[in-house]
Amino acid sequence: MAEKDDKNMKALKEVWRRAENALCADCGKPDPDWASHTLGVFICLSCSGIHRNIPNISKVKSLRMDHWDEAQVQFLEQHGNAVAKAMYEAHIPIYYYQPTHADCQVLREQWIRAKYERKEFTKPGRQLPYSNGLKEGILWKRGRDNGQFLPRKFLLSEQDGCLKYFAKLDAKEPKINIKIDTINATFQPVKIKNPNGLQLSYLKDNKTRNIFLYHEDGKIKSRLMQKFLKEGYMEKTGPRQREAFKKRWFTLDHRRLMYFKDPLDAFAKGEVFVGSREHGYSVKQGLPAGAQGGFSWQYGLTIVTPDREYLFTCETARDQQDWIAAFSRVIEQPMTPQEYAIEAYFKLSS
Ligand SMILES: [Zn+2]
């Protein structure tokens, strides 16, 4: 019996040592020392606590302290983090925000439940989980003019696919009414200087508008959580490519590159629709030969659209490569019918 146990522990250590199992399957924390023997994933202590909340789906054990039987070890051998990822994360929308170990428990629990309990990402197409339809709450919203945060009533209606907010707590008519599909919400603790800071970007009259919020206890609807593919400073020049380059804050979401004078501006100074390769869009390293105009940053890149070229410069080579990689991800994705419509809007309004 002891011999069999030894063999079993040896097999467990081997599968645990595999490179694919070196990071927590859910939050990416290095050196996970827990595992789920029903899902076949290696996870950190903190995520194992969340798995305990879904006992009908996941059963966890410590890899160091618990006894593992042969069948459980075999299950881990046949699964592991790579197999689980291929299954449970097969169709994550590229702009979906995946929390890391630095994120709060609430956000990680939403992610883990979406992944294993609701299996939102196992099939193509964004699954819209209909919970109980209506969510209402108070969020602190940053005033556009004075930058002060004030409490506002927010209402999320999944049936109509709308998010509304009211300027006064007893107001009947919403101040804004936004289609959820057009919202890009990102988690922005640093920018907003609050651990539950959130940025919502949405289209209004075909222009992008930002609102900055936080919630006191961090209960953020995971439905809305997405991430920017990339954001940061670049320099840009104007359409004639002769104007001096100006430093701007850029955000890239699924198809839209927006730029701002300041990261906390409510309105974008401009935006560029980024389509797909087969529709005439591409990204190139460097600036076209003969590009003029003063730029202080040396690492250029060019976005080619069917209508014109956009020239940017980055401060570091690393930044340049990251931006090129982010644009490439967008461009390599075929456009959906809805995105063709958005592209047409952009052309009308520019
Ligand atoms: Zn974890």
**Structural domain 2-117, CATH architecture:** Orthogonal Bundle (1.10)
- 48 Cα–ligand 1 center, Å: 7
- 18 Cα–ligand 1 center, Å: 17
Check the CA dihedral 191-193-195-201 and report its sign: negative
Residue 148: burial class (beta carbons within 10 Å; 0-12, 13-18, 19+): exposed
- 99 Cα–ligand 1 center, Å: 10
All residues at 6 or more sequence positions from 98 whose CB lies less than 8 Å from its CB, including other chains: 92, 111, 227
* C-alpha to C-alpha distance for 178 and 78, rounded to whole angstroms: 45
- The CATH classification number of 230-349 equals 2.30.29.30
Q: What is the pLDDT of residues 46-101, one digit of tens each?
A: 999 999 999 999 999 999 999 999 999 999 999 999 999 999 998 876 656 788 88
pLDDT of residue 186 exceeding 80, the answer is no
Reported as half-sphere exposure (CB side, CA atoms, 13 A), residue 288 has a value of 15
Work out the average pLDDT over 246-273: 87
pLDDT of residue 107 exceeding 90, the answer is no
Domain with CATH 1.10.220.150 in the chain: 2-117
Domain with CATH 2.30.29.30 in the chain: 134-224, 230-349
Strand 230-236, strand 246-252: pairing? antiparallel
- 44 Cα–ligand 1 center, Å: 4
- 263 Cα–ligand 1 center, Å: 30
pLDDT of residue 346 exceeding 70, the answer is no
End-to-end Cα distance, the chain? 75
Instruction: Look over the chain and give the mean of its residue pLDDT values, rounded to a whole number.
Output: 83
Stated pTM of the model: 0.51
- 330 Cα–ligand 1 center, Å: 28
Selected from 3.40.50.2000, 1.20.1250.20, 3.30.70.1430, 2.30.29.30, the CATH number assigned to the domain covering 134-224 reads 2.30.29.30
Q: Identify which of 333, 221, 228 has the alpha carbon closest to the alpha carbon of residue 275.
A: 333
Q: Identify which of 97, 127, 91, 92 has the alpha carbon closest to the alpha carbon of residue 110.
A: 97
- 311 Cα–ligand 1 center, Å: 40
Helices then strands, each counted (H, E), the chain? 8, 17
All residues at 6 or more sequence positions from 29 whose CB lies less than 8 Å from its CB, including other chains: 23, 44, 46, 47, 100, 101
- 24 Cα–ligand 1 center, Å: 5
* C-alpha to C-alpha distance for 140 and 121, rounded to whole angstroms: 31
- 115 Cα–ligand 1 center, Å: 13
pLDDT of residue 181 exceeding 90, the answer is no
- 47 Cα–ligand 1 center, Å: 4
- 25 Cα–ligand 1 center, Å: 7
pLDDT band at 18 (very low <50, low <70, confident <90, very high): very high
pLDDT band at 125 (very low <50, low <70, confident <90, very high): low
- 101 Cα–ligand 1 center, Å: 6
Mean pLDDT lowest for which of 2-11, 60-69, 243-252? 2-11
Q: Which residue has the higher pLDDT, 180 or 163?
A: 163
* C-alpha to C-alpha distance for 186 and 208, rounded to whole angstroms: 14
Strand 256-260, strand 270-273: pairing? antiparallel
- 108 Cα–ligand 1 center, Å: 8
- 212 Cα–ligand 1 center, Å: 28
- 30 Cα–ligand 1 center, Å: 8
